[in-house]
Amino acid sequence: MNDKRTSDKHDTTRITFVGAGNMARSLINGLIRSGHDPAGICASDPSPEQRKLIEALGVTTYAANVPAVAGADVIVAAVKPQVLRAVLTSLTNRDETQLLISVAAGVPIGSLEAWTSAGQPIVRCMPNTPALLGVGVTALYANTNVTADQHATAHHILEAAGKVLWVSDEADLDVVTAVSGSGPAYFFYLMEAMVEEAVELGLERETALFLTLETAYGAACMARNGDPSPATLRGNVTSPGGTTERALSILDSENVSGSVRLAVAGAARRAQELAEEFGD
């Protein structure tokens, strides 16, 4: 979490969120938690319910996008990919000094450039769902118009949702989508299977779920230290002739590793297709 980050000059940047749904709300929450002045943030959304949730954080809201982006240093486009084109092309008062950050999954930077002004500094992001709790991971890609200061500002804003990393090749975002974007679902899938079999073998569902979740959390904490690697950690808990060895030999004989790799490759291909569909 980012609670301990010290205030810096980015905390006074004027940021407008266009689209005030789940992603915008978690970013705004994180920014305020890390010291950003709520008076420097505003948001626009046609939904009165969404606006009310944002206003509860001390942030000014608008029903219309055009007045909301006036005077902003940064515009964060946090609408669904399907409406992004209409939203960006309708921002007639936008200017090319404003940094545009898009969190919309799959919309390529070339399309964002086509829907804005020549020279617009743009950062395209790929966050993931744990961002909603401030424990996400977001990959960012900047076009060549983004200045060093704007780069730091985008980093600061997305850090409100968890860890941040930059990629220098936009195509890498398709792989990022397949790993961290869709990744939470792969772990949920494994959890579901573990719970179902534990119930089948006699545990109460609540107990099975508790054990599975705490184990996933504990394994992630161990692996997150980075040393030793997941492969070594797995070796360390696999005694010859033991229960883990039996389980892993069944996973190997079913080629589960190969299936996971196929799944990640399939997701990356789908990300590429979606970029073509959402783009121009």
For residues 25 and 54, the answer to whether their CB atoms sit within 8 Å is: yes
Q: Please, which residues have CB within 8 angstroms of residue 32's CB and are 6 or more apart in sequence? A: 38, 41, 57, 58, 59
Question: Judged by CB under 6 A, which stretch of 20-28, 111-119, 157-165, 248-256 contacts ligand NAP?
Answer: 20-28
Between 92 and 144, name the residue whose CB sits nearer to ligand NAP. 92
Between 9 and 52, name the residue whose CB sits nearer to ligand NAP. 52
- Determine if 140 is a binding residue for ligand NAP (CB under 6 A): no
**Binder to ligand NAP among 41, 99, 132, 164 (CB under 6 A)?**
132
CA distances, 254 to each of 31, 242, 248, 258 (Å): 45, 19, 10, 9
Question: Judged by CB under 6 A, which stretch of 3-11, 124-132, 162-170, 243-251 contacts ligand NAP?
Answer: 124-132
Work out whether the CA dihedral 10, 12, 13, 18 comes out positive or negative: positive
- 22-61 positions binding ligand NAP, by CB under 6 A: 22-24, 44-47, 50
For 141-183, the DSSP string reads: EE-TT--HHHHHHHHHHHHTTEEEEE-SSTTHHHHHIIIIISH
Min separation Cβ 275 and ligand NAP, Å:
12
Min separation Cβ 103 and ligand NAP, Å:
4
Place of tokens 């055009």: 66
List of residues contacting ligand NAP (CB under 6 A): 18-24, 44-47, 50, 65, 78-81, 83, 87, 103-105, 127-129, 131-132
